[in-house]
Chain A
Amino acid sequence: MKKNTKQDREDELTPAIEVDTLSKSFIVGTQEIPVLKNVSLKIEEGDFTVIFGPSGCGKSTLLHSILGLEEPTRGTLKFFGNDLYKGTTEDDRATFRKKTIGMVFQQSNWIKSLNVKENVAFPLTLIGVEDSVSQEQARGVLTQVGMVQWADYIPTELSFGQQQRVSLARALIHNPQVIIADEPTGNLDYEAGQQMMQLLFDLNKEFRKTVIMVTHDLEYLHFANHIVQVFDGEIIGTYRGKERDHLLKELTFKKGTLGK
């Protein structure tokens, strides 16, 4: 019974992200190369979504569309019910990004002239927070990810794993509703990767942050409650609940190396 009412409630809520028959093609020379073909997707608030697929399947492009950086050739993309591309300028989307989204990338990208603390504080600087306040908050989030002792270092002096944790701190400092991660574990060893994923998982559970992660690595799928499989520009499957469990079992069977 509880399940039903929960399901009903979920159907009534506006999804966090709603992708509707989105297509994206790139024009290379005289050729039009389709990268995304009629993709449709619903991500609910509080989901931990993992979008996976082989390299070049278009998942990164999908992510960029969600970020507001890649205008679709056809179709719509709505964020909390608002069309992201219709009637908006690039500046509008930039403003939207800095308020709503926190990002973690595969390769850590830093402002080289600033130290760890200042880099982490940057999203707050972008929304006009005064320096001493933002840096105090930076220390706060750094403590949460266990990196506060490195606050005055230059980011490139840290190991990849440490940099990714700082990246996460930066993605969280402005308390965004959505965290988007593009292959965050790509350059990390197993240990660091697991740590990273656990952090994301905890954030998702404790603070109800919507997490959208893109990866080609099947290692971490079990952290997600919503799995999206992409192949050759199309979504070939979305899995929740029982279907999700079933998929994981299959993949474990196939891979034979996954832990729970």
Chain B
Amino acid sequence: MYTGFVEPIVHTVTFVFLLLVYLCGALVKALEKFTPAIIKNSLGKYLYKLYVQILNLNINSKGEKSINRINLIGLAMRNMLFKRMRSLITIGGMAVGIGAIVFLVSLGYGLQELVISRVAKLNEIKQINIASNPGSKIDINDKSLADFKQITGVEQVFPVISVVGKVNFNESISDMVVYGVVFDYLDQSSIKTVKGKIFESNDVVISAENLSTLDVNTAEQSVPDAGRGTKDAITTDSDGWVYIASESDQAATVNTKIVVLPPIAKREAVVNRSMLRVLGIDENDAVGKRFTSSFVATGDLLPAGESKIESSGDEYLIVGVVPGDKTPIFYVPFIDLRSMGIVNYSQATIVANHDKDVADIRKKIEAMGYATSSVVDTIDQINSLFSTVRVMLGLLGTVALAVASLGMFNTLTVSLLERTREVGLMKTMGMKSNEVRELFLTESMTMGFFGGVIGILLGYIGGKLLGLILSVFSLTKGLGFLDITYIPSSFILLIIFLSLLVGIFTGIYPAKRATRISALDALRYE
């Protein structure tokens, strides 16, 4: 029944409260010898009044003239103190068992944190990447950007254009991947400049007069496109390599529009290390150098009617260098590529206000017909993996706890057998059966509680010690201190609850047996 389940939980929670009250009271009494009379009189009286009020609470005594729960705790504690060695060993066993669980599981949490922090910087958790679904006619354009901005929880929207760049440097021409991005996009991404800086342009919108103009020399050329198909697809694989896939269409006659970039184009580039290697430029000399590049935009990015637009070639100034050892990539201001007449964008990145909103925003965007991806997917996978890891670690630690529990069960049963006469006496003097049961349960729960608290400390210290030892190695490698364990507060509560549960389960049998002791056992014994 519902009530049957809630009552023991309330009983357990109030037990912890009363235990803490008792311990505070004992502490105050112990310190009484050291406090000067002044404090004793004022503070002491106040504390005593408070104590009496707590004693009269319903959770402590039920109003009838009967032994109250704090008294039972006191009796239990006195009995534990009486058999000091035995109690210490029993609690110690529990502490080791709990400590093992805490140590192992905190390791799981710590490693999870470590991995996630390597995978995703704080910013990336709030970012969503949007792309068109393959084969769909739904493009990302200015209107889409406006729509995205309307979604609740969206803080910023950055469009990205990716085209092919024909780079001319020192008489050699290479094809490279070019991304047209705004300053904010690079600034908030995990890509950080190692030399120089990012270009300052954040412009997205372009007015008609600022669009590229047709190159008077080569306007409206019909050029057979040798080896180049109508569709260039730029894809990134899971290792970070970027491919330019060309779909060859033999009999295609492509109408290529050659344009001249307008004056508002910034003509600044941020290049990656791989590109510098291809061009043969040393990283330290890179900033300030110039290269010539023309951009080729095809099909999907262009408005209807256009099949290919190529810029006539401009001199670009290298303003910054970013890491990247795989595909040669460089970043140019979004506005430069936009001014070519590109109306559809390759992808867009959204920054949400809060990582909690990410899932909802993604749903809405996917409903619009786009594909979304987010580092959250990876994190979810990692979390799920580590959940499993933690459970296994926990189970491992539980073996130690099981052994300790058996020890405690043994202690309690032996303790009971020794105290048969004592229990008989208490019953003769008027203690009820359920009060006797509560006494023994109190003892086991108290020992469980202490074992749990000490166990958490042990597990915590053990974990930090391990981190310290490993740090010795990592420091020599220049990687700084390693902290590989982490204990969330919810886990601490769980462990306290677990140790109380162990206390209950190990104590329930001796407690029940105690209720069956006849009061006459105290009187007969000769």
Residues on A lying within 8 angstroms of B by beta carbon are 60, 64, 67, 69-70, 90-91, 94-99, 103, 105, 107, 109-114, 118, 122-123, 125-128, 130-131, 182
Residues of A within 8 A of B434 (CB): 91
Nearest-CB residue, chain A, relative to B52: A130
The answer to whether B422 touches A112, judged by C-beta atoms less than 8 angstroms apart, is: yes
Residues of B in contact, count (CB < 8 Å): 36
The answer to whether B429 touches A123, judged by C-beta atoms less than 8 angstroms apart, is: yes
| Per-residue A-contact encoding for B301-312, CB less than 8 Å = 1, 0 else | 000000000000
Q: Is the interface of B mostly helix, strand, loop or mixed?
A: helix
Residues of B within 8 A of A110 (CB): 422, 425
Residues of B within 8 A of A95 (CB): 66, 430, 432
- Knowing A112-B422, A126-B67, A128-B67, the reply to whether A91 touches B523 (Cβ < 8 A) is no
Q: How far is the CA of A64 from the CA of B519 in the complex (A)?
A: 10
Q: How far is the CA of A131 from the CA of B74 in the complex (A)?
A: 10
Q: How far is the CA of A94 from the CA of B526 in the complex (A)?
A: 23
Q: How far is the CA of A170 from the CA of B455 in the complex (A)?
A: 41
The answer to whether A127 touches B71, judged by C-beta atoms less than 8 angstroms apart, is: no
Q: How far is the CA of A95 from the CA of B66 in the complex (A)?
A: 8
Q: How far is the CA of A169 from the CA of B450 in the complex (A)?
A: 36
The answer to whether B55 touches A130, judged by C-beta atoms less than 8 angstroms apart, is: yes
Residues of A within 8 A of B67 (CB): 125-128
Name the residue among B82, B430, B522, B526 with the largest chain A CB count within 10 angstroms: B430
Nearest-CB residue, chain B, relative to A125: B71
- Give how many A-B residue pairs fall within 8 Å (CB-CB): 86
- Knowing A69-B519, A126-B66, A128-B66, the reply to whether A113 touches B432 (Cβ < 8 A) is no
Q: Is B421 an interface residue (CB 8 A)?
A: yes
The answer to whether B520 touches A70, judged by C-beta atoms less than 8 angstroms apart, is: yes
CB distance from B90 to the nearest CB of A (A): 15
The answer to whether B61 touches A128, judged by C-beta atoms less than 8 angstroms apart, is: yes
Residues of A within 8 A of B143 (CB): none
- Knowing A111-B422, A126-B67, A128-B61, the reply to whether A94 touches B427 (Cβ < 8 A) is yes
- Knowing A67-B428, A114-B78, the reply to whether A109 touches B522 (Cβ < 8 A) is yes
Residues of A within 8 A of B65 (CB): 99, 127-128
Residues of B within 8 A of A122 (CB): 426, 429
- Knowing A64-B520, A64-B523, A113-B79, the reply to whether A128 touches B68 (Cβ < 8 A) is yes
CB distance from B81 to the nearest CB of A (A): 7
Within 402-441 of B, Cβ neighbours of A (below 8 Å) are at: 421-422, 424-434
Q: How far is the CA of A128 from the CA of B55 in the complex (A)?
A: 9
CB distance from B297 to the nearest CB of A (A): 88
- Knowing A70-B520, A111-B425, the reply to whether A126 touches B79 (Cβ < 8 A) is no
Nearest-CB residue, chain B, relative to A92: B432
CB distance from A156 to the nearest CB of B (A): 12
Name the residue among A91, A113, A127, A182 with the largest chain B CB count within 10 angstroms: A113
